């Protein structure tokens, strides 16, 4: 593993790789005080409370919608940056779901219990809901109410909905920028949000960023560390607003645990047992912090995160896990020449592990959906940087699928041979915006296009402006890559109908890395590029 990637101001894949190459939160001794401030905390839908709510400081969230169900999330955390602030006693939390934003027509209600063992976070698995419908929800604890959240169920199985519209995003390094992208996303007309990883970063506090946007302490490893780090990110009002506005479908990448880890192999030299425990801590807090389906559960050292979410007959969303089961990156990670690193082509190298690969093929074989969506982490397209060397060499980023080519090629061949309908791969990780035609064989000029890949850029994590022209110099030798921009932070919106798919890249006003020169969440956000796909006709068309 590459252990010299300490520069958190450049992207995961590019760091050191290219050639030349408290907030003040009121602290309460206990929750008794909460009983004296009830009415003041009653909120209307959409009203942000943030740190002003003495108990629900981290807001509310929902996720993993089905046609009759959704998961609701919150956490009792009167002192969110210092372990939460509750004692070891279990706490009662009431919840309610209504069909109107004023919460007057309640359709479900119940009580759940938070425990110290789960950091006083709760996930409520609400069932018996109507398909394809908006709902509103809130929690209360000892007279204090949370803000009101909004969520939405998916269409029923067998129904072909007229439209699905969602945002997808990744990589929100807290120290590297404000969440203007989330400010914009929260106001969009969306059914849900897909987050493909790097929801937090595990790094120590940097000395070179404004104190208002700084991590706390050293690199995180314990349960308490991970809880405090998620709390720091969740205190951001724009992230809270977006969670309150839409259900999320999430998966993790590396930074939810440790930069560029692979399976149980860490980035740095730690003992195997130490990393095993650290990863277990990270997975537990991820499970606690996200609105995940009941069947996403820890088992042994792992967390079974990969899952399928069908959006009626319009789309099957297959959420992948490309970190937990992968073999080590070939040749110590980073950028590697194929000519000196034949392990890039090893048939034994695996990104998904054998079980997940078999599951993926089963799902794709059984799918009757118009669009088959793979929501995952690292770039699946071939990206050969050999042009930068001036020699006839193949040069790959081996943390991405280019380091696991045998398995990547099995998947692309499967999509072609099984004639899987309209595959679309959604990717994060690399902090830059890309669109590519996926081919069964990237080496064959006449090999047919079998699907498309979109890489949202990062919410806030930097790419390094100086890397932008270097990447552009590699594009002529990668003609299937149809779009790249390394200067943008933002996210993407996908508008999907039975006949067509459109991806819009939305970007925050161009800003300089490593830290926004205008450190503001008020920066304008606009459309910068868009691509269309026609159902049944592989190949991207640029429309903006
Ligand atoms: Fe990232």
Instruction: Show the low-confidence residues of the chain (pLDDT under 50).
Output: 1-41, 512-515
Query: Do 347 and 468 reside in the same domain of the chain?
Result: yes
Q: Does residue 496 share a domain with residue 394?
A: yes
Using the mean position of ligand 1's atoms as its centre, give its distance from the Cα of residue 437 in Å. Answer: 23
Q: Terminus-to-terminus CA distance in the chain, angstroms?
A: 40
Name the residues around ion ligand 1, CB cutoff 5 A: 12, 171, 198, 461
Distance 253 CA to ligand 1 centre (A): 8
CA of 211 to the centre of ligand 1 (A): 21
CA–CA distance, 467 with 448 (Å, rounded to integer) = 30
Q: Which domain holds residue 303?
A: 166-198+247-253+298-542
Is residue 227 within 8 A of residue 287, CB to CB? The reply is no
Q: Which of 99, 35, 46, 526 has its CA nearest to residue 241?
A: 46
pLDDT of residue 32: 30
> Could you tell me if residue 485 is inside a domain?
yes
Ligand 1 centroid – CA 294 distance (Å): 27
Tell me, yes or no, whether 124 and 190 share the same domain.
no
- Ligand 1 centroid to 257 CA: how many Å? 12
CB 501 within 8 A of CB 425: no
How remote is the CA of residue 11 from the centroid of ligand 1, in Å?
A: 6
pLDDT at 16: 32
> What's the gap in Å between 523 CA and the centre of ligand 1?
21
β partners of residue 248: 63, 193
Residue 522: what pLDDT? 80
- Distance of CA 170 from the midpoint of ligand 1 (Å): 7
Q: Which CATH number goes with the domain that contains 174?
A: 3.60.21.70
pLDDT of residue 176: 87
Q: How many angstroms separate the alpha carbon of residue 44 from the centre of ligand 1? A: 34
Residues 490 and 518 in one domain: yes
Q: Is 419 among the domain residues?
A: yes
Q: How far is the CA of 316 from the centre of ligand 1 (A)?
A: 25
Give 191 Cα–ligand 1 centroid separation in angstroms: 25
d(CA 24, CA 30): 17
**Is the same domain home to 87 and 172?**
no
Any alpha helices (H) in 290-376, and if so which ranges? 353-366
What's the pTM? 0.92
pLDDT in tens, 11-56: 443 433 332 222 222 222 223 333 333 333 456 777 776 558 899 9
Q: How far is the CA of 276 from the centre of ligand 1 (A)?
A: 22
* Domain's final residue, options 151, 178, 212: 151
Predicted local confidence at residue 21, as pLDDT:
20
Max Cα distance, the chain (Å): 73
């Amino acid at each position: 593993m590459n252990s010299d990637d300490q520069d958190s101001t450049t992207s995961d894949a590019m760091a050191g790789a290219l050639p030349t190459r408290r907030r003040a939160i009121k602290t309460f001794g206990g929750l008794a005080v909460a009983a004296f401030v009830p009415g003041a905390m009653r909120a209307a839908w959409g009203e942000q409370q943030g740190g002003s709510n003495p108990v629900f400081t981290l807001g509310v969230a929902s996720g993993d919608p089905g046609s009759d169900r959704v998961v609701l999330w919150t956490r009792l955390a009167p002192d969110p940056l210092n372990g939460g602030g509750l004692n070891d006693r279990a706490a009662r939390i009431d919840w309610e779901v209504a069909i109107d934003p004023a919460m007057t027509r309640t359709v479900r209600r119940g009580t759940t219990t938070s425990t110290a063992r789960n950091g006083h976070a709760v996930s409520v698995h609400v069932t018996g809901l109507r398909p394809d419908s908006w709902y509103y929800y809130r929690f209360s604890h000892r007279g204090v109410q949370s803000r009101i959240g909004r969520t939405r169920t998916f269409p029923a199985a067998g129904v072909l909905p007229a439209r699905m519209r969602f945002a997808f995003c990744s990589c929100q390094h807290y120290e590297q920028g404000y969440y203007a992208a989330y400010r914009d996303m929260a106001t969009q007309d969306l059914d849900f949000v897909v987050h493909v990883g790097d929801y937090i970063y595990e790094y120590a506090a940097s000395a070179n960023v404004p104190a208002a946007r700084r991590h706390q302490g050293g690199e995180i490893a314990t349960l308490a560390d991970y809880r405090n780090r998620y709390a720091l990110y969740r205190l951001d009002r724009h992230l809270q607003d977006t969670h309150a506005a839409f259900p999320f479908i999430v998966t993790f990448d590396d930074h939810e645990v440790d930069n560029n880890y692979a399976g149980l192999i860490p980035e740095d030299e730690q003992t195997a047992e130490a990393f095993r425990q650290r990863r277990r801590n990270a997975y537990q807090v991820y499970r606690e912090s996200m609105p995940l389906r009941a069947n996403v559960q820890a088992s042994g050292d792992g967390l079974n995160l990969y899952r399928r979410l069908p959006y009626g007959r319009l789309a099957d969303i297959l959420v992948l896990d490309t970190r937990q089961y992968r073999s080590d990156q070939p040749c110590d990670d980073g950028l590697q020449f194929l000519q000196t690193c034949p392990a890039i082509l090893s048939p034994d190298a695996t990104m998904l592990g054998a079980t997940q690969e078999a599951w993926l093929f089963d799902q794709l074989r059984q799918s009757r959906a118009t669009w088959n969506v793979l929501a995952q982490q690292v770039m699946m397209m071939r990206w050969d940087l050999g042009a930068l060397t001036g020699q006839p060499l193949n040069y790959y980023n081996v943390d991405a699928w280019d380091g696991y080519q045998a398995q990547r090629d099995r998947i692309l061949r499967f999509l072609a041979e099984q004639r899987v309908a309209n595959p679309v791969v959604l990717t994060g990780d690399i902090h830059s915006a890309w669109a590519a035609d996926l081919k069964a064989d990237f080496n064959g000029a006449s090999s047919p296009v079998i699907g498309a890949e979109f890489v949202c850029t990062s919410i806030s994590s930097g790419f390094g402006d100086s890397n932008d022209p270097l990447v552009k110099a590699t594009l002529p030798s990668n003609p299937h890559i149809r779009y790249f921009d390394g200067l943008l932070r933002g996210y993407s919106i996908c508008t999907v109908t039975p006949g067509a798919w459109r991806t819009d890249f939305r970007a925050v006003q161009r800003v300089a890395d490593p830290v926004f020169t205008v450190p503001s969440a008020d920066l304008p956000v606009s459309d910068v590029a868009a691509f269309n796909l026609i159902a049944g006709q592989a190949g991207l068309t640029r429309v903006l």
